[in-house]
Structure 1
Amino acid sequence: MGELRVPLVRSPAEQAEDEAFLRLYGEWAPLTPGEMAAEMAGFDRPWWVVGGWAVEAATGFRREHEDLDVSILACDVPALVEHLRGRWHVWNNAGGVLRPLGERWTDVEDPASQLWLRASAADPWVVDVPLTPDRDGRWTHKFLPGEDARVEDVTWLADDGIRYLAPEIVLSYKARLGRAKDDPDLEACLPVLTSAKRVWLWRAVEQTAPGHPWLDRLQQP
Structure 2
Amino acid sequence: MGDNEDVWKPLSITEIQNIFSIIPVQWWIAGGWALDIYLQKITRAHDDIDIVILRPDHLILQRHLGRDWEMFIAYKGQLIPWNKNQLLDSHFDNIWVKKKDESTWAFQVMLLDTEVKDWIYKRDNTIRKPIEDIGLESLSGIPFLKPEIQLLYKGGSSVIREKDVIDLGNILPKLNASNRDWLKESLNIQYPQGHEWIELIDSYAKV
Provide the residue aligned with 1:95 in structure 2.
Answer: 76
Number of aligned residue pairs: give it. 200
Matches within 5 A, 1:1-221: 21-23=1-3, 25-62=5-42, 63-103=44-84, 106-110=86-90, 112-120=92-100, 122-136=102-116, 138-175=118-155, 176=157, 177-209=159-191, 210-221=193-204
User: CA contact under 8 A between 1:111 and 1:133: conserved in structure 2?
Assistant: no
Superposition CA RMSD, Å: 1.9
Taking the aligned partners of 1:83 and 1:117, their CA distance within structure 2 comes to 13
Taking the aligned partners of 1:168 and 1:116, their CA distance within structure 2 comes to 24
Shift of 1:46: 0.3
TM-score of the superposed pair, with normalisation by structure 1: 0.82
User: CA contact under 8 A between 2:28 and 2:52: conserved in structure 1?
Assistant: yes
Per-residue CA deviations over 1:143-187 (Å, capped at 9, x if unaligned) read 231233332211011111111111011001101232112111111
TM-score of the superposed pair, with normalisation by structure 2: 0.88
User: CA contact under 8 A between 2:97 and 2:108: conserved in structure 1?
Assistant: yes
C-alpha change, 1:220 and 1:112, in structure 2 (3 Å) is farther
User: CA contact under 8 A between 1:111 and 1:131: conserved in structure 2?
Assistant: no
User: CA contact under 8 A between 1:27 and 1:125: conserved in structure 2?
Assistant: yes
Shift of 1:122: 3.9
SS at match of 2:119: strand
User: CA contact under 8 A between 2:68 and 2:100: conserved in structure 1?
Assistant: no
SS at match of 1:54: helix
User: CA contact under 8 A between 1:55 and 1:61: conserved in structure 2?
Assistant: no
Taking the aligned partners of 1:215 and 1:182, their CA distance within structure 2 comes to 14
Taking the aligned partners of 1:130 and 1:33, their CA distance within structure 2 comes to 16
Taking the aligned partners of 1:198 and 1:71, their CA distance within structure 2 comes to 22
Any gaps of 5 or more consecutive residues in structure 1? 1-20
Taking the aligned partners of 1:24 and 1:146, their CA distance within structure 2 comes to 38
The one-letter code matched in structure 2 to 1:81 is Q
Any gaps of 5 or more consecutive residues in structure 2? none
